[in-house]
Structure 1
Amino acid sequence: MTETITIPAGERGVLRLFALDMPAQQAKFLREPGAAAQVLGVETLEADQVEVFPVKDLDDLGLAGYLAEGYAIAPEQLDHDALAALTGWVLLLRSRAFGGQETHLDPDPALRLIGTYREAVTDWSAGPLEAGSAAPYSAPPPPPRALRRKARGVGFALFAVVMALIVALLAWWIA
């Protein structure tokens, strides 16, 4: 009997790899809508977050290479020998498949959990900017002539719009 796997609410960036101990035709069927959810013991899954494929399709890249390059799994998380020994079909399940909801997986005995891996995440934090040019209002003020030129341009545009409206109103009234 397999254990229940709890997926916490809001989980992100986690990939679970299952070996499929079943005939190829049955494994292929898991690509159909709702089939993967059924063998995982859940109501629904986002289908685009589930992959079912034979390991032999990865050719020279191998399963470890696919996880490292395709999913940004750090090489130190991967047991290369165990992954190289896998044959047959596998199921890759991303945590996004659950829509951020807490979920309890009760997988079919034909599914064997091989590993749970964390995708590399980008650290978007940064220290404070210390350059003088990063301070607010640090740019030199524009010269007075440029400000006057800009003000004249805005005034002329406003004048042109008002005159066009007056001409259009007179043309409408006369016609």
Structure 2
Amino acid sequence: MDGVIHIPAGERGVIRLFRLDMRPEQAAFLKEPGALAQVLGVAALDPDQVEIFPVSDLEDIGLAGYLADGCGVPRAQVEEDRGMLDALEGHVLLIRSRAFDGAETRLTPAEQIILVGTYGERQTDWSAPPATAESAKPYSAPKLPPRQARTQARRIGAVLFAVVMLLAALLVWAVAV
């Protein structure tokens, strides 16, 4: 999967996994500001949306488990690549779509950065049946009679006035003592 990787404008919920075919010191250097963007051939990346780590840090969970449980990739999608993910060694790079700030981007990674897979994060299901309860309709709350509304407003005002006066009295007392 060499060459240019096209990131469309507005892309969301995609994680790209790269294998870093380099020494640990070189992989650590990619965490420096601007270094990763330079080797990927882009102007800038959001560092909060990028992870670089050795696969051995994942110990028992493994890379497949990290993608499924830690990154929200559907387990069925990870299971398709489990053998390949379990065989990876050394350092890996995870880049989320949010790293590109919604802009159309063309990645031209250095030859030591090899795209291993592209995974989609679980999407939130925002669908719901329409609210049909009477109380869900606009302006369906019972209206107070004007006299009762004025009385309630006066009570609230009196309580606020009392609290402010009490705080002022405490402040004067604290300054005097």
Query: Aligned pair 1:149/2:159, yes or no?
Result: no
User: 1: CA distance between counterparts of 2:50 and 2:105?
Assistant: 15
Structure 1 residues 117-175: Cα deviation after superposition (integer angstroms, max 9, x where no partner): 11112122322111122123333444677346347x38x97xx9xxxxxxxxxxxxxxx
Give the TM-score of the pair, scaled to structure 1: 0.79
Structure 1 unaligned spans of 5+: 161-175
3-state SS of 1:96 partner: helix
| Amino acid aligned to 1:126 | A
User: 1: CA distance between counterparts of 2:23 and 2:38?
Assistant: 17
User: 1: CA distance between counterparts of 2:35 and 2:67?
Assistant: 23
Q: Work out whether residues 55 and 90 of structure 1, in 8 Å CA contact, stay in contact via their aligned partners in 2.
A: yes
Q: Give the root-mean-square deviation of aligned CA atoms.
A: 2.3
User: 2: CA distance between counterparts of 1:86 and 1:136?
Assistant: 56
Identify which of 104, 109, 113 aligns with 1:107. Answer: 109
Quote the residue 1:49 is aligned against: 49
3-state SS of 2:114 partner: strand
Give the TM-score of the pair, scaled to structure 2: 0.79
Structure 2 unaligned spans of 5+: 162-177
Quote the residue 1:63 is aligned against: 63
3-state SS of 1:113 partner: strand
User: 2: CA distance between counterparts of 1:147 and 1:22?
Assistant: 73
Quote the residue 1:131 is aligned against: 133
Structure 1 residues 27-79: Cα deviation after superposition (integer angstroms, max 9, x where no partner): 11111111111221112111221111100001111111111111110011111
3-state SS of 1:26 partner: helix
| Amino acid aligned to 2:120 | R
- Structure label with greater radius of gyration: 1
Query: Aligned pair 1:76/2:82, yes or no?
Result: no
Identify the range of structure 1 (86-95 vs 34-43) with the bigger mean alpha-carbon deviation: 34-43
3-state SS of 1:63 partner: helix
Give 4+ residue runs of structure 1 displaced > 4 Å after superposition: none
Q: Work out whether residues 2 and 108 of structure 1, in 8 Å CA contact, stay in contact via their aligned partners in 2.
A: no
Q: How high is the sequence identity, in percent, across the aligned residues? A: 60
